[in-house]
Structure 1
Amino acid sequence: MKAIAITRAAQNGSNIGFLSDIDLPTPVAEGHDLLVEVKAISVNPVDTKVRAGFNADKPRVLGWDAVGVVVATGDNVTLFKPGDKVWYAGALTRPGSNSEFQLVDERIAAHKPATLDDAAAAALPLTAITAWEMLFDRLGVAENGNEGDALLIVGAAGGVGSILTQLARKLTRLTVIGTASRPESQKWVSELGAHHVIDHSKPLTEELARIGVKQVSHVASLNNTQQHYQQLINALKPQGRLALIDDPDSLDAMPLKVKSISLHWEFMFTRSMFETADIIEQHRLLTRVASLIDEGVIKTTLGEHYGAINAQNLQKAHQLIESQRAVGKIVLEGF
């Protein structure tokens, strides 16, 4: 089968790495696995991080978002059958979706939204899982609840922010405040439903004051947490909640003590990596998100379509992700 893999580590201090078109044997489905013929994928920051940190001799297939068709199932599969169209984000510990065929555990996959084409659907799984778990599992927000509370989303125009903004606005009573620094990204966040959009290139407390908000109850920090950390603490109410997904070099929890602020990490691969007892929750939440899309409650976060799935186009997508100037998600489709 065709695949795109990182085949050689970066050299001379560069983090570019090498993505190459290669051929690999088609895998065989066993146990809870689905063998999926991949139709469309999207690119996430995790792809660039894994590529930059690659130092192995064996090629590694990246990609943690896919839409495809089930072509075979393992003996323990009960949720799907060959011919089903599915979407999923996969597992960090297994070969990724940048290949013609991929194995994925049925418990972290779901039927794709019927109203979206493959590319539009591929933009969503990883970010939808991350946003859902961050909002409801980590920050403890209740569906149709939290009236009077405010959520600050730092980096609301990116992939996770784009779906988190919609989920918070449509499924809760939170006041949703998104940050974005450029006119096009500010427009995007506003169109996704944020009540307010502020500029994270300026002091956040000043920007919140500009819109008449003294403090917020919840913060979802999606990038540059280390840069904004003290401002986020200042912006949070006593007993507020701070959740993050990025990778600060260090994070001192002591400044959170005086306000009794709780700190939460969201890592959407935890359930698949450890095969937790509740691993099937990712199947359930992706099923719910598909229903919300088909009902017209939320929409795809597709930003740009980069063409066919090949090494050249993927390299360009990685470069845009690393520039931190992407608006929405980058998708590729077809081999």
Structure 2
Amino acid sequence: MTDVMRAVGYRKNLPISDPSSLLDLEVPVPSPGEHDLLVRVKAVSVNPVDVKVRASADPGGEPRILGFDAAGVVEKVGSAVTLFRPGDEVWYAGSIARPGTDSELHLVDERIVGRKPASLDFAAAAALPLTALTAWESLFDRLRLTAGSTGRLLVLGAAGGVGAVLVQLARRLTDLEVIGTASRPESRQYVLDRGAHRVVDHRGDLAAQLPEGVDYVFSPHSAGMIGTFAEIIRPYGAVVAIDEPEGLDLVGLKSKSIAWHWELMFTRALYDPTSTAQHEILTQVAALVDKNVIESTLTTRIDGINAINMRKAHAAQESGRTVGKTVLAGF
């Protein structure tokens, strides 16, 4: 193994139309710490967080590698690793505090890694970890739903990466009525195919479309929505949000005692690094995939992990019109 590897990253914040917005790099191969796996990356997917970091986090001219989803093969393990060994096929979403997955070899703590579903190839597997973890934690950790939970769940942006997994989990692992939002015919059908009981148009009047109200809302787009949430959510209901709109004012939710939860998939890696909860979630999701309970949300595959292809994937993500997930496979 050589001491350098290929990667895709950036040195300064630039619009994705600029050829220098993402660059092909050569960087040193990292050495595993005690609990680290050195993974040979076979496929990665693009998430909104990739676009957000590239646009807002200035690396000051130093190369920064993005990527928060990967599927690959364990090449080396740290001295304290107990969950995996070289040759294992794995999937994971990594940590925002470490270099990203858009590299030939990548270090990740074993405790946030799962074994790749046997029924999926690397590309189909790479579409799922970050969104599956976010969806699972939103439903079962933040909202504390169970197999016996009832009521109505509204999933905003249900054709997106997280929404498409969350619809599947909620429909198949709870007794909730699952309502997704989508606007275009192809995205509406995609949401129905994932298991939603029905779909409403988020460009229209949600209150008029949901006169009976809902008990829970999953929100990736909360700006300007608090008044609508206050109207459509029943008393004692709850919202789980994954965005962070500036100046968000939640006082409109108080009269109905509506709870507000934040979900950030990276919280465990940042603040609870010894937890194996995400390893366990990914293990459970892999089992559901292999039983055909949950399916991959891969919709676009691009062969070749390089700067040109990554710029295409980021541009698609920025368009706001993607359905499911875009995956890049193979260096």
In structure 2, what residue type is equivalent to 1:118?
A: F
8 A contact 1:305–1:332 mirrored in 2: yes
Q: 1:104 aligns with which of 95, 103, 108?
A: 108
Question: Partner residue of 2:192?
Answer: 190
The structural deviation recorded for 1:82 is 0.2
5+ long unaligned stretches in structure 2 = none
8 A contact 1:9–1:17 mirrored in 2: no
User: Which residues in structure 2 correspond to 1:3-18 (within 5 Å)?
Assistant: 3-10=7-14, 18=21
Higher mean alpha-carbon deviation, 14-23 vs 176-185, is at: 14-23
Q: 1:70 aligns with which of 70, 74, 80?
A: 74
8 A contact 2:226–2:249 mirrored in 1: no
User: Which residues in structure 2 correspond to 1:251-262 (within 5 Å)?
Assistant: 251-262=248-259
Q: Please say if 1:303 is aligned against 2:305.
A: no
Q: 1:330 aligns with which of 312, 326, 330?
A: 326
Deviations 1:242-288 (A, max 9, x none): 111012122112111100000000000000012355x2100000000
Q: Please say if 1:44 is aligned against 2:42.
A: no
In structure 2, what residue type is equivalent to 1:219?
A: V
Cα distance in 2 for partners of 1:170, 1:78 equals 32
Cα distance in 1 for partners of 2:131, 2:40 equals 21
8 A contact 1:16–1:52 mirrored in 2: no
The structural deviation recorded for 1:200 is 0.2
8 A contact 2:11–2:58 mirrored in 1: no
The DSSP-based 3-state class of the residue aligned with 1:283 is helix
User: Which residues in structure 2 correspond to 1:160-199 (within 5 Å)?
Assistant: 160-199=162-201
Question: Partner residue of 1:226?
Answer: 223
Question: Partner residue of 1:33?
Answer: 36
Deviations 1:293-315 (A, max 9, x none): 00111100011112210001101
Cα distance in 1 for partners of 2:148, 2:116 equals 28
Cα distance in 2 for partners of 1:321, 1:73 equals 33
4+ residue runs over 6 A deviation: 14-17
Cα distance in 2 for partners of 1:290, 1:27 equals 28
Question: Partner residue of 1:119?
Answer: 123
Q: 2:63 aligns with which of 52, 59, 64?
A: 59
The DSSP-based 3-state class of the residue aligned with 1:258 is helix
8 A contact 1:32–1:74 mirrored in 2: yes
TM value normalised by structure 1: 0.95
Question: Partner residue of 1:272?
Answer: 269
The structural deviation recorded for 1:16 is 8.9
Cα distance in 2 for partners of 1:324, 1:227 equals 17
RMSD: 1.5
The DSSP-based 3-state class of the residue aligned with 2:22 is strand
Deviations 1:75-128 (A, max 9, x none): 110000000000000000000110000000000001000000110000000000
In structure 2, what residue type is equivalent to 1:298?
A: I
8 A contact 2:9–2:102 mirrored in 1: yes
8 A contact 1:307–1:332 mirrored in 2: yes
The structural deviation recorded for 1:228 is 2.4
Number of equivalent positions: 326
The DSSP-based 3-state class of the residue aligned with 1:39 is strand
The structural deviation recorded for 1:9 is 2.5
In structure 2, what residue type is equivalent to 1:196?
A: R
